[in-house]
Structure 1
Amino acid sequence: MAGISRWVKPETYPLAAAMGAAIGLCGFMLLRSALANPDVRINKVDRAAGVLENFEEGKKFKEHAVRRWLKEHPPMIMPGLNRLMSDPPKP
């Protein structure tokens, strides 16, 4: 065990966490695109159908739950601080 502690240092934990999160996000997007994208057809029967005009399925794929949630919120990182700094004071 003394050899492992020489290679794994506490300073590398944030880097390992960031890399793990990035790899996980890339894997999730790869699987989502491969399995749920209406333009990707894996089995032979679907590939033989050619180009389909499935606009509803494409819209459903694009407008996923996270995108719908983000549409309801203002595009600000700190909305409270932005309002405090930009709105004029009330008399």
Structure 2
Amino acid sequence: MAGNRWIRPEVYPLFAAVGVAVGICGFSLVRHICINPEVRVTKENRAAGVLDNFKEGEKYTEHSLRKFVRNRSPEIMPSLNSFFTSPDRN
């Protein structure tokens, strides 16, 4: 009876939105724990103290998505935006 009340078709978009948000948070958490050069999980690595590993830090920050969007326009739909804002189209 309780499942019938809570799991209705109207609630599916909410489940999907929360699922996507949890997935993004999980991805970020795993990424930062596994490959961030400033995070040290093991005791041996924590004992090393502050390291000057600039090359590893630069490799972490300059990931492939950042390289892909670096020289692109900050628009979601550039062709649609240019269609509506271009004065030469009548």
TM-score normalised by structure 2 residue count = 0.86
C-alpha separation in 2, matches of 1:6 and 1:49: 55
C-alpha separation in 2, matches of 1:45 and 1:3: 50
Question: Where does 1:1-91 land on structure 2 (aligned, <5 Å)?
Answer: 3-89=2-88
CA drift of 1:71 comes to 1.4
Unpaired stretches in structure 1, ≥5 consecutive residues: none
**1:58 partner amino acid:** G
Query: What is the percentage of aligned positions where both structures have the same residue?
Result: 48
C-alpha separation in 2, matches of 1:34 and 1:55: 18
Runs of 4+ in 1 over 4 A off after TM superposition: none
CA drift of 1:87 comes to 3.2
Matched residue of 1:17: which SS? Answer: helix
Unpaired stretches in structure 2, ≥5 consecutive residues: none
**2:67 partner amino acid:** R
Q: Report the RMSD for the aligned CA atoms in angstroms.
A: 1.7
